[in-house]
Structure 1
C-alpha cells in the first residue's frame, strides 16, 4: 500500500507542475533531490540538488505554452512509487532542430519517486 504522505507529495508535485508553479514543485523536494529524464531509452538530463532542479524546471516550463500531466496510476515498486502519467503539451517557441511553436505533444510516461524525511528525494522520468 502506498504511504498517504508520499501519495500526497506526488499529487502536489504534479499539480504544481501543471500550474507552472516552480516554487510549489520545489516545496515537495528534499534539498539533495536527484532528478533524471530518460527519452527513447537514453538518459537525456540529470540534476542533483534543488538549485540544479530549479534551473532545469524553469527552462522546461519556458518551452511550453501549455502543459498538463494527468496521473493515471500509482503503484509501489522496489521501495519507490511508480506513477504512470499522461502528458499533453503545446510547444511555446520553435526549437532549433526540433518541433515548431504550436506543436502538440501527447504521450504516456512513467515517473519513479523516492522519498527521504518526508520529501521527494528522487524523480526518474521515462518518456
Structure 2
C-alpha cells in the first residue's frame, strides 16, 4: 500500500516536470525538502526548503523548450525509492559554446526520493 502511494507521487511529479507544472511538481513535497543535483559524481546544486526548490524549478523550466523524463525502473526500499530515468530535452537557451538553443540533450540517470509522512523530504537527481 505504501509503495503504491509512493509510486503515484513519483509518477505525478515526473508528469508535472514533463509538463513544466511547478505547482503540481511541489504538491507532495515536504516543507523541509532537500534537493541535490549530482552530475559526474559532484553535487552541483543544493536547495533547502520548498521555497528554494520552487525558485530553482521556476528557473530551470526556462532553460528547456521541451523536456521529458521517462521511468525505466523503480526500486523500493522502506522510505526510499530509486527511480531509473531516461532524460530527453531540447535547450531553449545557449548553455555554452558547445551547447546551443535547439540542441538535444539525452541522458540516463536516476532520482532518489526519500519520504516522510507520505511527502518527499529528500530528492537527489544523479546523472
Is the TM value for this pair above 0.5?
Answer: yes
Return the alpha-carbon distance in structure 2 between the equivalents of residues 108 and 70 of structure 1: 10
> Which stretch shifts more, 69-78 or 32-41?
69-78
Distance 2:46 2:78 in 1: 21
Aligned-pair CA distance for 1:28: 1.6
Contact 2:3–2:76 under 8 Å retained in 1: no
Determine whether 1:55 maps to 2:94: no
Distance 1:115 1:98, change over 3 A: farther
Higher mean alpha-carbon deviation, 95-104 vs 20-29, is at 95-104
* Cα distance change on mapping 1:84 and 1:121 into 2, 3 Å: same
Task: Give, in whole Å, the separation in 1 of the partners of 2:78 and 2:108.
Answer: 21
Indicate yes or no: 2:3 matched with 1:3: yes
* Residue in structure 1 matched with residue 64 of structure 2 by the alignment: 64
TM-score normalised to structure 1 length: 0.94
Q: Note the residue ranges of structure 2 that are not aligned, 5 or more in a row.
A: none
Q: CA deviation at 1:93?
A: 1.2
Deviation at 1:2, TM superposition (A): 6.6
Per-residue CA deviation, residues 42-99 of structure 1 (Å, 9 max, x unaligned), is 0010001100001111111110000000011100247410000000000001124561
Q: Give 1:26-37 correspondences, 5 Å limit.
A: 26-37=26-37
Q: Give aligned pairs, total.
A: 127
RMSD across aligned positions (CA): 1.5
- Distance in 1 of aligned mates of 2:125 and 2:64: 18
Equivalent positions of 1:1-127 (< 5 A) are 3-77=3-77, 79-96=79-96, 99-127=99-127
TM-score by length of 2: 0.94
